[in-house]
Amino acid sequence: MGDHVGRARGGTSGLLTVALAGVLAVTLVACVVATLTAQAPAARGPRPKWQIDAGSKMAFDVASVKASKPGDLGYRMNFPLTLGADFGSVGNRMSVNIPLRVLIGFAYKITPGQTRVLMPGLPDWVDSKWFEVEARAAADNPTKDQFRLMVQSLLAERFALRMHYEIRQLPIFALVLSKSGKTGPQLTRHIDDSMCVADERQDILHVSQVGLPPFPCGSILFPGLAPSVPGRIKGGGRNVDMDYIAAFLTGFQGLGLDRPVVNRTGLSGSFDFWMELVRQSGASLPNGAEPDPTGPTLLEALRDQLGLKVESTTSPVDVMVIDHIEEPSPN
């Protein structure tokens, strides 16, 4: 009996050892999976609301894409490729001559500056290569966002653009008020009216002085206004929200905002603004002017003119990782 009991105890010990090993293995696998999950980029959430509102996948009825000639690198577009709702009446046509980066930014409703931080993997030639696009939609009078969806299809077909979405924890700049509840003198609430061009004495925008078309509501144009001192740049926006202003500041003019700028001002509604600042050395200025050494930097202009500042932090950010893109073959 003793031998039998001894064998029984030994068997129980073996079973416990096997069971414990199994528990440890499951725990180890769970820990590895948890670690990999924490390290791996998260899948992207639902499509942006603007895409849902615009509809499902769309494509142009007819489209021509040609590399621009070396002597034809001037911007041309039959409607503003901005984030805002400004559009005008263009029927069902799109006609542009622009760098590819601008076209990609339009398609995904982000600024060219945002593409530099929110679209990792874009090659350098998206800046140096310009393209003429002449396209016609099947339906009359598509919305601006529906044109964006058509350009997404065009990029996939003609440039073999492939990407995937990730949520990454990234360094960002949070755009906040310098003083709680107070904006600067050149950032004012937009008052609904039918005018899109007003005199600067009203702290709004007057662009006819530099020979530009009437400034459209819902746009930011920078630079675009005549500066008060040579060697500075000046511009602004009319009837734009703070999310748009934050997006515009991302990658702004090569002046150091090399992170995504996220609106955390708590301000809702639409605003008019303008600001003037000095551009960094090495950047081109009209008529070969040298940067004004007395001019405000971007951060100083934000603080003193708009009552805003940026704070360094980290945050989950939706990014579009480029898997493949190539230059199109001739039509």
Write down the pLDDT at residue 71. 78
How does pLDDT run across 260-315, given as a tens digit for each residue?
Answer: 999 999 999 999 898 999 876 545 555 666 778 888 999 999 999 999 999 999 99
With both helix axes pointing from N to C terminus, report the angle between 100-107 and 144-158 in degrees, rounded to the nearest 10: 130
pLDDT of residue 226: 81
DSSP bridge partners of 313:
172
Residue 132 has a CB neighbour count (10 Å cut-off) of 16
The pLDDT tens digits of the residues spanning 192-230 come to 764 554 433 333 344 333 333 456 678 888 877 788 888
Residue 164 has pLDDT above 50, yes or no: yes
Mapped onto helix, strand or coil, the DSSP state of residue 100 is: helix
Contact 292, 231 (CB under 8 A): yes
Q: By C-alpha distance, which of 84, 45, 46 is closest to 247?
A: 84
**pLDDT band, very low/low/confident/very high, at 254 (cuts 50, 70, 90):** low
**pLDDT value, residue 288:** 63
For residue 151, give the H/E element and its range.
helix 144-158
What are the domain boundaries of the chain?
Answer: 49-165+319-324, 171-315
Q: Given 3-state DSSP classes, what are the helix, strand and coil percentages for the chain, each rounded to the nearest 5? A: 30, 25, 40
Q: pLDDT at residue 150 above 60?
A: yes
* pTM, two decimal places: 0.76
* Whether the bond into 223 is cis, omega within 30 of 0: yes
Q: Residue 161: what pLDDT?
A: 97
Q: Which of 75, 195, 179, 85 is nearest to 130 (CA)?
A: 75
